[in-house]
Amino acid sequence: MKRIYSPLAEKSIKSLKVGDEVSLSGVIYTARDLAHQELSDAVRHNRKLPICLRDQVIYYCGPTPRQKDRVIGSCGPTTSSRMDDFTLDLLKVGLKGMIGKGPRSPQVRAAIKKYKAVYFLAIGGCGALLSTRVKKARVVAYKKFGPEAIYRLEVEDFPLIVGIDSAGRDIYKRKAG
Amino acid sequence: MRKIHARQITSIISELCIEANTNLRSDVKRALRLSLAREDNPRARGILQMLLDNAACARKFKLAICQDTGLPCVFVKLGQEVLIVGGDFLKAINKGVEEGYRKGYLRNSITAHPLKRKTTPGFSPAVVTVEIVKGAHLELAVLPKGFGCENKSALRMFKPSEGPEKIKDFIIREVKLAGSEACPPFIVGVGIGATSDRAASLAKEALLRPLKRKNSDKIVAKLEKELLNKINRLGIGPMGLGGKTTCLGVNVLTAPTHIAGLPVAINISCHALRSASRRI
């Protein structure tokens, strides 16, 4: 199990190989369908983004509401391919990591290689367990979208698998090939 | 006539929503444990163990098993000798859904208009299926359906002559297409017969049947077994990362259909197949 920290340093991205099991600590931002539409629209129209994405990691996740004595509700990954059409825009402005579940489009895979980024898999349907690895959480943008708002999360030892590494190697393609 | 108060329906639905979302069905847990015992791919084993740990964690902290607490599907069997008093039946159900989802800290995932969107989502309305049955009882089942897997639903209208082999090919193809995105290992619901819409509804209803219960219809039981074995030979595995655990069970429901048709619908559930029911 490799330990890595977010925001991601170039060196640590390069050290990751497809299939590696990693444990991530640091800051990550949630964003799913609606937030992606908004962020991508802002990039395309040269508007200021509500968060700076340089070297950051986005987690495709819409958590359940928080119970009073907990940091966050259940918070597992959602299907990544729904974000594919918006991902290039975010990589262009410095996004370095994505966490989700399932395969990505060939375009996204190529862009991950081009921008030297990385795509991680989290285990789908493990939201309760994953919530225990979140130490702080607060909404930082698009509050009105409810679960689709952008949350800033501080995570500790968040368990992930490298799905596509910075050389463009894809865990799903490798398996099929 | 036996009178049942709308308030009672609200409170039962509320409890069922929380129970379904926080306590993984015992038949699903059992199937996961059996799969773990049989699985020899190390990564698949690790993931299956995590799924069991997740279910225990959800139960312990009364947390949602999955953050996608689904679109609540409510199946009602209403005895014809029951009279609902004290309020509107559908409203009572939706009120129960809202109450349960709020109390249980479950996610508001329902967008009021499918095209408008961009508003704060709500908890309801549920999709309610009512069947009038004999007797003086009321049976309520809540199945919160996550959309990672619901998005992989499919329907095909076969020719009557095509039969089981073609149906199997269709199901296998759809399961392959669902792949890792629908969170395998799956539970596959299949509806065969009736009309296109009814077949789709049957496919979802099939997910309510406990996994270990064998189908009483011999032809259908054989089809279920063959499909299960075939799907598990696809090698998709937990999270689509390989292994022999791709499917925990196949449940098929059939209904009489027209001489000119053979509708077949598939409704895939992720490994977090959640439902809870009560009879009063």
The arithmetic mean of pLDDT across residues B113-125, rounded, is: 90
The answer to whether residue A23 neighbours chain B at the CB level (below 8 Å) is no
The answer to whether residue B279 neighbours chain A at the CB level (below 8 Å) is no
**Candidates B109, B151, B239; nearest CB to A121:** B239
Question: Is the predicted pLDDT of residue A81 greater than 50, yes or no?
Answer: yes
How many beta-carbon contacts under 8 Å exist across A and B? 130
Q: What is the DSSP string of B32-43?
A: HHHHHHH---HH
SS (H, E, C) B157-218: EECCCCHHHHHHHHHHHHHHHHHHHHCCCEEEEEEEEECHHHHHHHHHHHHHCCCCCCCCCH
Which CATH number do you get for residue A75?
3.20.130.10
Distance CA B100, CA B273 (A): 18
Instruction: Name chain A contacts of B58, Cβ cutoff 8 Å.
Output: 74, 128
CB contact under 8 Å between B105 and A63, yes or no, is: no
Q: How many CB atoms lie within 10 A of CB A113?
A: 16
Question: Is the predicted pLDDT of residue B188 greater than 70, yes or no?
Answer: yes
Helix (H, G, I), strand (E, B) or coil at A144: helix
Question: Is the predicted pLDDT of residue A116 greater than 60, yes or no?
Answer: yes
**Candidates B63, B179, B270; nearest CB to A128:** B63
pLDDT confidence band for A174 (50 / 70 / 90): low
**What are the φ and ψ backbone dihedral angles of B76, each rounded to 5 degrees?**
-120, 130
Distance CA B58, CA B64 (A): 6
Helix (H, G, I), strand (E, B) or coil at A56: coil
CB contact under 8 Å between B120 and A146, yes or no, is: yes
Question: Is the predicted pLDDT of residue A175 greater than 80, yes or no?
Answer: no
In angstroms, the Cα distances linking B219 to A132, B163, B202 are: 46, 11, 17
Report the mean per-residue pLDDT for chain A. 96
Q: Which residues touch B66 (CB under 8 Å, ≥6 apart)?
A: A74, A76, A124, A125, A126, A127, A128, B146, B270, B272
What is residue B7's DSSP assignment? H
Chain A residue with minimum CA distance to B50? A126
The answer to whether residue B240 neighbours chain A at the CB level (below 8 Å) is yes
User: Which pLDDT score is estimated for A124?
Assistant: 96
Instruction: Name chain A contacts of B248, Cβ cutoff 8 Å.
Output: none
The answer to whether B271 touches B248, Cβ cutoff 8 Å, is yes
Structural domains in chain A (count): 1
Question: Is the predicted pLDDT of residue A100 greater than 80, yes or no?
Answer: yes
Number of H helices, E strands in chain B: 8, 10
The answer to whether residue B47 neighbours chain A at the CB level (below 8 Å) is yes
The answer to whether residue B107 neighbours chain A at the CB level (below 8 Å) is yes
User: Which pLDDT score is estimated for B119?
Assistant: 81
pLDDT confidence band for A177 (50 / 70 / 90): very low
Per-residue pLDDT reduced to its tens digit, B140-157: 999 999 999 999 999 999
What amino acid positions of A are annotated as catalytic residues?
Answer: 36
The answer to whether residue A142 neighbours chain B at the CB level (below 8 Å) is no
- State the maximum Cα–Cα separation within chain A, in Å, rounded to a whole number: 48
Per-residue pLDDT reduced to its tens digit, A2-57: 999 999 999 999 999 999 999 999 999 999 999 999 999 999 999 999 999 999 99
Distance CA B125, CA B73 (A): 9
Predicted ipTM?
0.93
Distance CA A71, CA A136 (A): 6
Name the residue among B174, B245, B275, B253 with its Cα closest to residue B206.
B253
Q: What is the DSSP string of A60-126?
A: ---PPPPPTTSS-S-----BGGGGHHHHHHHHHTT--EEEEBS---HHHHHHHHHTT-EEEE--TT-
